[in-house]
Amino acid sequence: MRPDRTQQAYYKPGAPVLHRAGVTAADAADPVSPDGAISSAGYQRVRFDLDTTGSVALAALRVRVLFWNPLAGCFFHGDDREMTGDELLASPRFSLDVETRGAPAVFLKVVSAEAEELALDVYAMPW
C-alpha cells in the first residue's frame, strides 16, 4: 500500500495465476521446496480463490496456508480454514485472503476433504 497524489491508499495487485489444478485428494505432506508456491515477495497479501464446483458430495474441506522460510529451508504452518458442507453448497467458489508478513512464498495445502469426488482448482493473486 502506498499513497497516491491525493493521499488515497491503493494496492497494486500482481498477476493472477493458477496455483493448483485438479486437486483430487488431501495433501499427504507439506511440500519440501518452494517450487509450485506463490511468490509473495514485495506483496503484503495473497488472495486464494478456490473453485470446488466439479466436486461430488463435498461435505467438508480444510485448507492451511504454509509460509516458506528460506533460512530454515522449509514451510511453516499458518492458519487453517475449514468449510462445512452447507457453506460449500451455498458457495462452491470462495476466497481466502492471507497476510504474507514478509514470507517470500506461500502455498495452500489441502489438509482434509470429505467428498465422493474432490475436484479443486486454486487460483492466487498477490497484492
User: What domains can you pick out in the chain, each with its CATH number?
Assistant: 14-126 (2.60.120)
Q: What is the dihedral of CA 82, 50, 121, 83, to 10 degrees?
A: 20
Query: Which string of b and e fits 93-111 if b means at least 16 CB within 10 Å?
Result: ebebebebeebebbbbbbe
Q: Which residue has the cell 485438479?
A: 22
**pTM across the whole model:** 0.90
CA proximity to 36, closest of 100, 126, 105:
105
pLDDT in tens, 22-72: 999 999 999 999 999 999 998 999 999 999 999 999 999 999 999 999 999
Q: What is the pLDDT of residues 63-87, one digit of tens each?
A: 999 999 999 999 999 999 999 999 9
